[in-house]
Structure 1
């Protein structure tokens, strides 16, 4: 509470009216018609104190006769309400004391007490007894005492005239001056946390419980409240509202106008003459929050269908502008190995220096594995040369290297055809396809090309946001992105990186090249294009989500080739790859290299190359036994027979060589390989472990195995005539995809069936030699055949029953009746034969283990 004392004017003992007294003294001193009191004598007075919430903490300022209250505006800043939230802090006193230190009275930048002192003229005939600051409302109450014969209204008018002549503008609000109004009501001085607003709610209350209040009209409210500031609107309570007491809203253009009106008119009684009814109407004022302050947020929350897609668009634009250049940079570094330590010259020098001694022997031995394959590469030199030739030609089509698993496709392309060529990108479809879930698939695809940062977990969160939006606004926000969209982003950034790598070789100083467009330059220089190798293409192509991955890969590869950005090489074991790739390039003929197994001569040379001694230390390091020259010659003589059985598959040949080097004979090693292959066949194709994921039945697989055991080649169309292969083509394609069989085509049509691997021929014979296994699987085939024939008998019997019910037995149906009888007889004969064979097989199962 700020308390000070001003001068008090003694007007003598005049009996004339107050107005005449003011005019007389003003004319005597100034000669002007404008009233201003003369300078009085100043007797001593006593300083009174009051609480910040009124006298005796009552919330009101008590006034006696000849006392009044003024409210001064623009004394405090309005934006300091947050100070009242701090506990154990008297914000009003603190602010007043702080302003005293900051402000300078000579510059009209006074603290509250100084502002009020300067606002009160020295000749005003009042005695200030109390100053009560109102920090939240930016003003202060001033309680004063005056002599009899002078009304408070006249004192208010005189004060206004003075402030108009000598305006006071504080430093925090230099564009508006201090104003003062007489408090006409009984103000409620509370210290509740209520933020002033430009809207004031005026409630109409009765003056006593026995009376009723009148609802004031807009004209009456305007005449009462316009004096405090510019009004923007007066909103009365709806006529059909049941809310009591009745009220109205007064909207001011400024918050300070509302604070002045609230402090001066709260508790004012509107008399009968002013329209307040017979007993008068008591006005209760309070601040009402304005919705306009949050109209932006309200609009945003009220229009999610517009806002959410807009937010998604902004986030997408920000992601493209910020993260896409970073991702493109990391993809370039992944392709060019710019951030790989092992590709730096200093690292290679240190590695070569430290690889002496035992490490040198170990590294030399590791390099020997590559030397062992020289025989195979010499045999396939034509394919290697063809690939290298295609790399320097301008051709907007794919290069496909197809061959069975273990044929050395990746080694031929990466280690031989592209050896020494920079800027190679390898994408392993196996890692992408074996990832579970969309998030894992996105992360695996990004890792293959070096795409980072990747926020694969955001896909799950955005899907939850879309699900919530679906329940609230009825439509999806589009915030979540499908696997198709995410993969398109990854491949799109990779395309940008590949194009930048290719164009980095461009010599812009050359005038001829400088005039060429980027596409023309790329078409003219195929030797500078990066190479994209897509390994394990169509791996697990029978799964549902694989089509999305492979379709996007095919479309992306088509974009790279048609735009001359990069060469694309597909490595696949699937012979039906053209069906998938033709969707991307339907008007192109693919360049294809098919790798088959090695010839027996090359296979023997490869094994012998592996069997060459590599030094005592190297052998000891691997725990291998030394072989005598006699044993070595014996193994060489035995190789001719076992190579024919084993075939020319590289993986099988290397496995054979490792077993021979451990001391086994070639015959024993091949037998173990055959037994291991038979176990794999039994587990993967014949046992009903996971039949839901299979397209074939164990009976169908066993029938093919049994026939291939006796005949090395089966006729494709003859096998389709078997009763077990009603859906034969789909089953055979699935078994070829699973590598049990190999289908050979001629003139574009399949014509023969062979084992999937050469060693499988011997494995099939090994399985058929097991009488118990053969009896069990043959019994399953017979049971299926009996079931099929029984259904045929039932079908024809039902038809005969229908024909027998026809009246008169027409002669026209006799051929059909005889046909059905013959079919029933034929099926019954087959059932009897199958039953006889089943009995023999059951006897084998009951007699043998």
Structure 2
């Protein structure tokens, strides 16, 4: 007969097939985490035999749900303290040779593995081979039950298991580990869904439920689905609580259980957490539902900009208005300007008297501005219950008048240049320009349209803001009359200590320049610099010619295409205004080259090339945009080469229109000949023949004019500049 030691060595070679073939030999075996440690003598005498088992203590640490879970990092600080408390709690146990082997924290799943050894009952079966285990559905031996009961009594006497937060200790308990847990440290966090894979035959849903129900209430067990070859089949077990799934995962992983069809064949269980929401599921849903997501995102972003950034923007707007961030108002800057810059400017001042240049809105010599100035002062002194508009042509001194009044009254104001805003090529550029002028910061260009949508929604909900109930005030600034213009120039030159006597010829020049404040200021500045009024006026004319050639006709053909009017339309208006001070609006509108194109005239008015007066709310007359523009138009007309180029282009357009009329008349005559070849409709035919003759004569005349004009282009520009100067003097 073989000795017990021989039996151990022989059975050590028996593997899993032996268990599948002879399951009755292992009915009394201990669970999966139970290991036998014995010697030949111990096995023979039934003494010194130790069994290794593992328990899982739950609720000691928080179950970690992700990398963002801050509780995990707090628990790390108390990990060693909690482990020591568990060790002290279990070291004094003396039941069935209980011997504490190790304590391994499992922070990710909120528990601790406690590994121990004990002496099993003498009648238990030694499987001899560690890889052969009994079904985990069978109950443990009596010694293991008694050890577990003893440990539970100790835990209860101590007030419960230690916890990572002693003040909020929960009622954790101990669980027998039935498999061989996989202690991985990957980023696989607990979830209520547990995937149970089968290494072997499938296991019935009923058996899975019986195995896992002890760890917590199960909501659903989904049966296996077909999988590719080489992949383990599995079931999905959904627990009511994530805590229950964590306990089941750590107690069942690696356990063996009888199969579904044949209980003699065992299946190894592999468990793992399954995310309740698949990766990128939310992102994919958001991307596939833009009609729902986009309005929500718009609302959230708009709310964020209003609630978070509006206080910051209000501060910067107030700082812009009050001048808190303006370095010119700092004491250091004022000291430097007073003691260095101003003295340096006086040194290089030609007048040598340090006189400051007074703005063009000084009403001591401009009688027409006294009424406007008094109206603005009264408005600033009263309670602001309405709005006052100061309007007038460009360069009439609106900004200077307001600035001088505000400086004297020591009132803070915010100045917004609307022309810069209008010059923006897009809505984003316009908003950016407005934000820079008002100090509105921070600004996000991509949210501009969002804010507009929110503004529209606000108007729809709360109604449009009401305008002031009182009528709006209006202060009009017009050009000065000739007497005021001359008085103003004389007074300013006298204040600057410039001894200058205006001759009658120069008086006529000043009157022709007009009373536009910016032009008068230019004359004063140039006379103070040593020039004569005649030279100053000539500089204004030359500057106006350069500006008109660029703004009205464009630098080249490509630039002209971007203008809202044609070169022929601009040339026609300027040619007529060079001869007359006013033009009938509708006569110009209906004649060539406008032919009813009112938008071109309105665009010229907006560009300040012309001004349109109204009578009874309708357009009446057309005038130059500035008084001096009439003489600028005359200067352009006196340039023979420029005039020839524009007239040739205008005549070619007229000839093209006549050609179109001839073709239309010829086509109609051909149609009439087909309808009535015997001469009926004679009146219509005679009309068409006359129209053909008139158009033909017109084309001949235009071609003759263009031939003469082209000769001008071939001539040398001999003394053209002097000729143009004399021409506009005589023409005026």
TM-score, with length taken from structure 2: 0.72
Pair 416,161 (structure 1): closer, same or farther in 2 beyond 3 Å: closer
Pair 607,96 (structure 1): closer, same or farther in 2 beyond 3 Å: closer
- Find the aligned partners of 1:135 and 1:167 in 2 and give their Cα distance: 19
1:171 matched to 2:144? The reply is: no
Pair 378,487 (structure 1): closer, same or farther in 2 beyond 3 Å: farther
- Aligned counterpart, 2:417: 428
- Aligned counterpart, 1:121: 94
Q: Which of 471, 474, 483 is the matching residue for 1:601?
A: 483
- Shift in Å, 1:604: 1.6
Q: Which of 620, 624, 630 is the matching residue for 1:761?
A: 630
**Tell me, what secondary structure is at the counterpart of 1:427?**
coil
- Aligned counterpart, 1:162: 150
Kept in 2: contact 1:76–1:139 (CA 8 A): no
Q: Which runs of structure 2 are paired with 1:305-384 in the superposition (5 Å)?
A: 309-310=295-296, 313-337=299-323, 365=354, 367-370=356-359, 373-384=362-373
Pair 288,797 (structure 1): closer, same or farther in 2 beyond 3 Å: same
Q: Which runs of structure 2 are paired with 1:682-721 in the superposition (5 Å)?
A: 682-686=549-553, 689=556, 690-721=559-590
Q: Which runs of structure 2 are paired with 1:229-244 in the superposition (5 Å)?
A: 229-233=215-219, 235-238=221-224
Structure 1: stretches of 5+ with no match in the other structure: 1-53, 85-93, 104-108, 207-212, 464-479, 492-554, 565-587, 616-626
**Tell me, what secondary structure is at the counterpart of 2:564?**
coil
Kept in 2: contact 1:69–1:182 (CA 8 A): no
Kept in 1: contact 2:196–2:269 (CA 8 A): yes
- Aligned counterpart, 1:281: 266
Kept in 2: contact 1:398–1:591 (CA 8 A): yes
- Shift in Å, 1:777: 2.2
- Find the aligned partners of 2:563 and 2:360 in 1 and give their Cα distance: 41
- Aligned counterpart, 2:506: 639
Kept in 2: contact 1:205–1:283 (CA 8 A): yes
- Aligned counterpart, 1:730: 599
**Tell me, what secondary structure is at the counterpart of 1:424?**
coil
- Shift in Å, 1:796: 0.8
- Aligned counterpart, 1:216: 203
Q: Which of 421, 432, 442 is the matching residue for 1:454?
A: 442
Pair 844,220 (structure 1): closer, same or farther in 2 beyond 3 Å: closer
> 1:286-340: CA deviations, max 9, x gaps?
2333528999979996988767655654554454344334433443454455666
**Tell me, what secondary structure is at the counterpart of 2:415?**
strand
Kept in 1: contact 2:513–2:627 (CA 8 A): yes
1:140 matched to 2:140? The reply is: no
- Aligned counterpart, 1:408: 397
Q: Paired residues, what number?
A: 634
* Root-mean-square deviation over aligned CA pairs: 4.8
- Find the aligned partners of 1:198 and 1:236 in 2 and give their Cα distance: 14
**Tell me, what secondary structure is at the counterpart of 2:356?**
helix
Q: Which runs of structure 2 are paired with 1:642-653 in the superposition (5 Å)?
A: 642-653=509-520
- Aligned counterpart, 2:686: 818
Structure 2: stretches of 5+ with no match in the other structure: 1-31, 44-48, 68-75, 126-139, 718-732
- Aligned counterpart, 1:481: 450
- Aligned counterpart, 2:701: 833
TM-score, with length taken from structure 1: 0.63
- Find the aligned partners of 1:76 and 1:485 in 2 and give their Cα distance: 49
Pair 366,62 (structure 1): closer, same or farther in 2 beyond 3 Å: farther
Kept in 1: contact 2:363–2:369 (CA 8 A): no
1:444 matched to 2:397? The reply is: no
1:70 matched to 2:56? The reply is: no
Pair 658,723 (structure 1): closer, same or farther in 2 beyond 3 Å: same
Q: Which runs of structure 2 are paired with 1:38-57 in the superposition (5 Å)?
A: none
Q: Which runs of structure 2 are paired with 1:654-669 in the superposition (5 Å)?
A: 654-669=521-536
- Find the aligned partners of 1:387 and 1:266 in 2 and give their Cα distance: 88
- Shift in Å, 1:824: 0.9
- Find the aligned partners of 2:614 and 2:600 in 1 and give their Cα distance: 17
- Find the aligned partners of 1:659 and 1:263 in 2 and give their Cα distance: 95
**Tell me, what secondary structure is at the counterpart of 2:450?**
coil
